Amino acid sequence: MEIIEAKGLSKVFVLKDGKQVTALGGIDLSVPEGQLTALVGPDGAGKTTLMRLVCGLMTKTDGSLQVAGLDVTQRPQAVQDLLSYMPQKFGLYEDLTVQENLDLYADLHGVTQDTRQQRFRHLLEMTELAPFTERLAGKLSGGMKQKLGLACTLVRSPRLLLLDEPTVGVDPLSRRELWQILQQLVREERLSVLVSTAYMEEAARCEKVYVLNHGHFLKGGTPAKLREVAAGMCYKVTPPEGMPLRSLQSRLLAEKSVIDAVPSGGVVRFITRGNPVELKPLARLSLTAEAIEPRLEDGFMTLLKEDVQEQGGPAVQTAAASSGQMGTFSERSRVAAPVEIEVHDLVRRFGDFTAVSHTSFSVHRGEVFGLLGPNGAGKTTTFRMLCGLLPATSGKISVAGVNLRTARIEARAKVGYVAQKFSLYSSLSVYENLRFFGGAYGLYGAHLYARIQAVLREFHLQDVADHAAGSLPGGYKQRLSMAAALIHKPEILFLDEPTSGIDPLARRTFWQKITALSERGTTIIITTHFMEEAEYCDRFMIQDHGRMLVLGSPEEIRQRMRLPDATMDDIFVAIVEQARSEAEKDSKAKGAVS
């Protein structure tokens, strides 16, 4: 029995200027009842549009769409009565407590008083929010907010649950807990779930996975079937001593026959149609690749890459690690390089809330240093203090020998900065933005002009130089931000969440760029909520609730945690659980004393 059945479903948006944008181009979808079905695909693939069509919040342009045998267009109310939808930004009332939020949603859905108590108890127990019913929703952590959102969505027992990227930016532990809840719901209540996600290991937990790109399904089927796509093409290789994973990965990615390469668990995983022995970077370093089993992500990346090539889209392997820059990598030990950034016992409080608590670290010249952690962990606060945008409550910060907040303004000329949100002037053209920021960093005349042309070329922005920056698609904006930050060739580059909201292919290109910059000696500080991106960093620290959980290189940390092949998500979970059990021991010990 299928709960959602779509045939030739399409949705076309007509923009103000009369242009038509096809969000969904005739897709066939069948979601089985009582199972988990995942929608995966890059940002802008049409996942949210599809969800909203199923809910009847949007009307289709063409095709047929039925939910539990009901036509959505004809009977939207009947369809809405049997499903619950949790959008990407769920509307929790931050000034109400957990209990009040639940009550409110129960009232809105007309849940009767007698069924309500039992349902609440069940949901609170499942989400482990029972001890926090009196806490304001605004004061919950990102993961707890998502769990509360899920609980509010489930106040009545729907037949179908739609979740739009419920775990973006949530810490790995909460993400796992959230998925356990979903699996429990499917088991106990025979709930049907359609969930969109950017995390492949989450999609792998579903019975059925659909891969969506540019409004078309590339493939649908069981995770095993999707893995098959990359069967026999997956390898892993260990770089020589002292070579960062990203350098090898970047070089592999530059090869035409390589579909994808990522640093993972101390090795570089890659997918190639050809024979790995013929790959130049491996031959040059006399490395041997070892065949491995494909993961869902490998299948996904293969499908995506094939689709992009068919569409004649821009090749992902761009200038970043082209032959000219090959071999510039030198086996120097970065830790021996002088310290560029030093942070000692840094604290930042907002009222009685501690955003960053007693954090110390140092970054060496030419290092790629990652600030990792879920949303709300204190990364951005730390980052803003480093850039001199926010005063520290206490502690010492030194960037290139000075504190940017109090130093003479010339010191800032050594630094490039890319904010989390696109923050260049939207009404100004690409060229005007670059000219302004070039001027800000003291460039002028012929030199400024030459640098503008150089970064336009480097970031493939020549064709849009006269376009208003605000009208560009996301990927272009991200490249423009990078171009503006690098126009004066800074020694230190600060990047705040540069990879959130860009698709996996663009992320690969972005890291290639970072690798190339670091090989030229630029020091890079980067924040990200994608734990796996720690693999690209020389060293990183993980923050959670303002506290620094761990600091070191990926290898060191794996050894310290005695988890040799673990992913960064596993490591995060292990660290948090370890910290929690220690805290419990402490409190028990204290209890025993008193």
Partner 1 sequence: MNISLQRFLRHLYFLCQKELLSLFKDPRMRIQLVMPVIIEGFLFGYAANYNIEEVPYAVVDRSETSSARDFLAHVAGAPTFSCYAVCGNVQEVSTLIDAGEVLGGIIVPEDFEKKLEHGEPAPVQVITDGRNPMIASMVKSYVTEIAASWSEAKGFSRLPVSIETRTWFNPNQLSRWTFLPSFLAMIAFVQVMFLAGLSIAEEREQGTFDQLLVTPFSPTEILIGKATPPVIVGLFQAAMVFLIARFWFEVPFAGNLFTLLLTLFIFMVSTTGLGLSISSVAKNMQQVLVYLLVLMIPMVLLSGLVTPIHNMPEFLQIITYADPMRFVIDAVRRIYLEGAGLCDIAWDFVPMLAVAAVTMPLAGWLFRHKTT
Chain residues binding partner 1 by CB under 8 A are 384, 387-391, 404-405, 409-410, 412-413, 415, 417, 419-428, 432, 435-437, 439-442, 444, 468, 494
Cβ 525 to partner 1, closest distance in Å?
13
Give whichever of 94 and 555 is closer to partner 1, judged by the CB atom.
Answer: 94
Cβ 420 to partner 1, closest distance in Å?
8
Cβ 441 to partner 1, closest distance in Å?
6
Cβ 447 to partner 1, closest distance in Å?
12
Q: Rounded to an integer, what is the distance from CA 519 to the centroid of its chain? A: 24
Q: What are phi and psi of 439, to 5 degrees?
A: -60, -40
Cβ 507 to partner 1, closest distance in Å?
21
Residues 182, 180: Cα–Cα separation, whole Å:
5
What does the block give as tokens for 579?
A: 């910290």
On the 0-12 / 13-18 / 19+ scale of CB atoms within 10 A, 395 is middle
Query: Strand, coil or helix: what is 282?
Result: helix
Give whichever of 248 and 387 is closer to partner 1, judged by the CB atom.
Answer: 387
Nearest to 84 by CA among 24, 197, 163, 8: 163
Give whichever of 90 and 425 is closer to partner 1, judged by the CB atom.
Answer: 425
Give whichever of 89 and 421 is closer to partner 1, judged by the CB atom.
Answer: 421
Cβ 444 to partner 1, closest distance in Å?
6
Strand partners of residue 50: none
Cβ 475 to partner 1, closest distance in Å?
18
Cβ 182 to partner 1, closest distance in Å?
35
Give whichever of 69 and 445 is closer to partner 1, judged by the CB atom.
Answer: 445
Nearest to 491 by CA among 413, 412, 414: 414
Q: Which amino acid is at 328?
A: T
Are 239 and 268 in contact, with CB atoms under 8 Å apart? yes
Cβ 378 to partner 1, closest distance in Å?
15
Residues 123, 105: Cα–Cα separation, whole Å:
13
Residues 422, 436: Cα–Cα separation, whole Å:
16
Give me the helix-helix angle, 445-458 and 430-440, nearest 10°: 130
What does the block give as tokens for 113?
A: 């008083």
Give whichever of 294 and 490 is closer to partner 1, judged by the CB atom.
Answer: 490
Residues 76, 62: Cα–Cα separation, whole Å:
16
Element (H, E) at 369: strand 368-372
What does the block give as tokens for 248?
A: 């090898």
Give whichever of 179 and 494 is closer to partner 1, judged by the CB atom.
Answer: 494
Are 22 and 12 in contact, with CB atoms under 8 Å apart? yes
Give whichever of 65 and 387 is closer to partner 1, judged by the CB atom.
Answer: 387
Q: Which amino acid is at 372?
A: L
Give whichever of 27 and 492 is closer to partner 1, judged by the CB atom.
Answer: 492
What does the block give as tokens for 140?
A: 């919950």
Helical H segments across 330-473, by residue range: 379-386, 430-440, 445-458
Strand partners of residue 493: 416, 524
Give whichever of 228 and 432 is closer to partner 1, judged by the CB atom.
Answer: 432
Cβ 453 to partner 1, closest distance in Å?
18
